[in-house]
Amino acid sequence: MRQIIQFNITKEGKWYTAEGIGIPVVTQAKTLQELNKNIREVVELYLEDEDPAETGITPSPSVLVQYELANV
């Protein structure tokens, strides 16, 4: 079972977007602090009604984020 859920974070305009890697979840916010809160919430909601055996994810996974810099 996976103990880590990964997210890719991008920024477009005033919005940060976090997209789950390997799980079908996306969230957005205007600040990284708010995005962090939203990521935790969306992970909890995703796992709430899912069977860990079906998702392959432990009930309390860690979250790893990757921030993508565009136009460097």
Looking at residue 54, which CATH number applies to its domain? 3.30.160.620
Indicate the number of domains in the chain: 1
Q: What's the pTM?
A: 0.86
Question: Which residues are within 8 A (CB) of 49 and not within 5 positions of it... i.e. 6 or more apart?
Answer: none
Task: Establish if 19 belongs to a structural domain.
Answer: yes
Task: Establish if 72 belongs to a structural domain.
Answer: no
Task: Establish if 53 belongs to a structural domain.
Answer: yes
pLDDT one-digit tens code per residue, 10-68: 999 999 999 999 999 999 999 999 999 999 999 999 999 888 888 889 888 999 998 87
Residue ranges making up the domain that contains 42: 2-67
Task: Establish if 39 belongs to a structural domain.
Answer: yes
Task: Establish if 35 belongs to a structural domain.
Answer: yes
The tokens for 65 are 């984020």
Task: Establish if 41 belongs to a structural domain.
Answer: yes
CA distance 47 to 3: 13
